[in-house]
Structure 1
Amino acid sequence: MRVAVIGAGLAGVTTAYELARDGHEVTVYERRSSIAAEGSFAPASVLAPGLWLAHAAVGGAGGLERMLARPAAWPWLWRRWRAARQPAHAARLACLRDLAVFSLERLQAIEAAHQLEHEHHAGVMALMRTPRHASRAQALLTKHAPLNLPARWLNADEARAAEPGISPKLPLYGALYWPAGQTANGRQFAHALRAEAVRLGVRFQFQQDVVRLTPAGGTRPQVELQAERRRDLGESSHSASSTGSTTIADEGPQTFDAVVLCSAEAASRLMAGAARPRVAWGHVHSVTAPRHVAADAGETFGPSGAVLDPAAGVTIGRMGDRLRVAGCASLGAPPSRPAPAALAHLYATLEATFPGATRTARAQPWVGRQDHLADGLPAVGRSPEKGLWLNIGHGAQAWAQAAACGRLLADQLAGRPAPFDCGALDPARLR
């Protein structure tokens, strides 16, 4: 089949790779000049099945509770609250677990098959900094024991032993811990996987903005691009062909057997009427900085894996010789540049948790957009429109879900059964 993938973030690259692995002829359209240039550029990339336990224990969802101060966010927050109280919520939690478990399996399989080099570290810990939060975390862990989540409870001493760099002054009453959890440089992985996708024949078309999807011959959709001619990454035609990237402007509409929308923005813009998914736009800040290297073997600076402070809405993750501090999630379009107040909160949380862990003079701040669906699950599968498929709505969980969702979509397109019950991901629920 000829398949177009719209969007070259982490979801788009993994989807293109899996489709090409199945033998499809794949073209990826990306409006930016590189992959992972928007929401996948510098967020926290953490994978831990059942990570929602940490946010539930402190009464929020990664800082989303702060959005209550914004009346414009109330309708979406109401839909989110109602979804969490519907009978199907238990099935959604099980699906979230299975997505993360399957994603970890796929990541490991891909890494083993291609010897991909990217920064990743094991161990994910969520700190409980009040007795009340610690009590709720333990109760939730017991309540959801039937889900077989690979998390365990650590008391304060055990948590400090697992992450010795945590400040001794930080109030700590225990932690949820995922030994097999993972933090990674998601953008680095996307670049490495793109090279493998190109070897499989995938064509990446950068600086190509899809402006319309129209039916052609019944069920075969056409992709119409912005008319003006653009350069592709500033590359010569020789270098473009060597990387699988070419410029195809002025060739007219392209017809495909299927189009996969891996960009919620593109889905909202290109899909019509009732088929258009209701997406809440949010944004998140991050700071990436060199890690302070200890002169003494007995000193530890920064986490060995990822450490979350769900009450502060901040994640501190290890990326090789750097640390990434991400958080301050909020609804609404991102500002044109990182907000000083958000960056100050990230720096303050980092210093309180891991004093002196980074060289902040060389820090790289970032703010990027994230898309959210009200029930907290992505939408993966056939859309109501003929020939169109969706892989959107990953929000802050792109690293935890992208590898699984790319494989699930490829299997659905081929008519193969899923390895677990993923009916909760059906885009039909968005109508």
Structure 2
Amino acid sequence: MKIAVLGSGVIGVTSAYYLMKAGHEVTVIDRQSGPALETSFANAGEVSPGYSSPWAAPGIPQKAIKWLMMNHPPLILRPKPDAEMLRWLLAMLRNCTSARYAVNKARMVRLAEYSRDMLDALRRDTGIRYDERMQGTLQVFRTQKQLDDIAKDVAVLQAGGVPFEVLDVAGCVAAEPGLAASSYKLVGGLRLPNDETGDCFKFTNALADMAAQGGVSFLNDTAITGLDASGGRIAGVRTDRGTITADRYVLALGSYSAAMVRPLGLYLPVYPVKGYSITAPIIDPAIAPVSTLMDESYKIAITRLGDRIRVGGMAEISGFNHALPERRRETLAYSVGDLFPGAGDLAAASFWSGLRPMTPDGTPVIGATPYANLYLNTGHGTLGWTMACGSGRVIADIVSDRPADIDTSDLAIARYR
């Protein structure tokens, strides 16, 4: 079949790759000049199935108030007259119950664990390189309350059979020796030894090259203006280069997916949640992070990518906003400088932001729609890189009318009806 994939971020490219491997004729359409130039460009670098948790959780509304008041807040809320923002926020609040958290977390971990297995298989099959490291993720806690509050996450990890280690301060330093100078600021940590790291931009471009060698066509610099529908099916994709037709269509446009399907009468609760990152050259490799460290106080990830340190985090709810306020850079620099002083050249760091496509329940939207030949692969939030290979393989199976390796019955847009 002819398949059109809309979007060339990490989700679109992995979808295209697995569709190509399934024997389809695939065309990828994107407004950018190449793959992974928006939200996939400079994310935190984590491939962390064990940290696949919904933001909507018991106690989050109370925590959010405290976060908003912090000097370096992990959450920034900029209310505006935006009905979609309000609708999304209310839906997220409805998911902040113990029962919904357990359901949402379980399906997210299911997809993320599968995705890690698919990434491992892809690495073995292709030899793809992307500054990858397989040395785990360490979440560090600066207060005893933070450490005490991990009980519910540990219970889910145990239920899912995900390996983990609860560490004292000495254990944290053993896992990340660069913390020795700042160890007195910590009370302990939670380590997930099976987590990985890597440069999502390098990965996506390397995989796009492999896909192109396998016959996938990439239509770059092509703006998508809408979808034409007729008789319960998609008839074509309108672009600034004319209408493109296919047998089936996969929508992987991240935060822009909701607006694309709204004229079709589909409600897709995907809203942009802005994240920031800085990337600094390493000055002293001996005291730089070994893998990924999560600073629980500021919700910031600090990752080693080759000879660079990537520092990413924060959640800003402000619509489609691409501004780069200096105070956000200061928060990122503060976290890495406080925990790994002297490890990176922060004055030389590049500064970036991206719009993460978030659903109110945390789980991405993957699968069929009421339109017979339209499929969705979007809404991955902060976990696009973590869930990319699994999501790409799952959507390729669904589009190809073959059973997926994991349960996908609760991933499609139908769960919002």
| Residue 176 (structure 2) pairs with residue 158 (structure 1) | no
Structure 1 spans left out of the alignment, 5+ residues: 227-248, 295-299
Letter in 1 for 2:222: Q
Query: TM-score under structure 2 normalisation?
Result: 0.89
Contact 1:57 1:133 in 2 (8 A): no
Query: TM-score under structure 1 normalisation?
Result: 0.87
In the alignment of these two chains, the number of paired residues is 401
| CA deviation string 1:69-108 (max 9, x = no partner) | 5445665333213124274543322211121211111111
CA shift in 2, pair 1:315/1:379, >3 Å: same
Contact 2:322 2:354 in 1 (8 A): no
Q: Aligned match of 2:279 in 288, 292, 300? A: 288
CA shift in 2, pair 1:261/1:216, >3 Å: same
Contact 2:77 2:316 in 1 (8 A): no
| Residue 188 (structure 2) pairs with residue 201 (structure 1) | no
Q: Secondary structure at the match of 1:397?
A: helix
How far, CA to CA, are the matches of 2:296 and 2:48 in structure 1?
14
How far, CA to CA, are the matches of 1:382 and 1:179 in structure 2?
35
Counterpart mapping for 1:72-151 below 5 A: 72=80, 75-85=87-97, 87=99, 89-121=101-133, 122-138=135-151, 140-142=153-155, 145-151=158-164
Q: CA deviation at 1:324?
A: 0.3
1:212 paired residue number: 226
Structure 2 spans left out of the alignment, 5+ residues: 69-74
How far, CA to CA, are the matches of 2:175 and 2:119 in structure 1?
25
Contact 1:91 1:424 in 2 (8 A): no
Q: CA deviation at 1:147?
A: 2.3
Q: CA deviation at 1:53?
A: 6.3
Q: Secondary structure at the match of 2:290?
A: coil
Q: CA deviation at 1:169?
A: 5.0
Contact 2:9 2:40 in 1 (8 A): yes
Q: CA deviation at 1:335?
A: 4.3
Q: Secondary structure at the match of 1:328?
A: strand
| CA deviation string 1:13-35 (max 9, x = no partner) | 00000000001000000011111
How far, CA to CA, are the matches of 1:263 and 1:191 in structure 2?
17
Q: Secondary structure at the match of 1:193?
A: helix
How far, CA to CA, are the matches of 2:346 and 2:113 in structure 1?
35
Letter in 2 for 1:123: G
Contact 2:77 2:317 in 1 (8 A): no
Contact 2:5 2:28 in 1 (8 A): yes
Q: For the aligned residues, what is the CA RMSD?
A: 2.4
2:400 paired residue number: 414
How far, CA to CA, are the matches of 1:404 and 1:170 in structure 2?
39
Contact 1:42 1:187 in 2 (8 A): yes
1:404 paired residue number: 390
Contact 2:79 2:318 in 1 (8 A): no
How far, CA to CA, are the matches of 1:86 and 1:421 in structure 2?
22
Letter in 2 for 1:222: G
Identity of aligned residues (%): 31
2:343 paired residue number: 357
1:395 paired residue number: 381
How far, CA to CA, are the matches of 1:261 and 1:306 in structure 2?
31
How far, CA to CA, are the matches of 1:303 and 1:85 in structure 2?
35
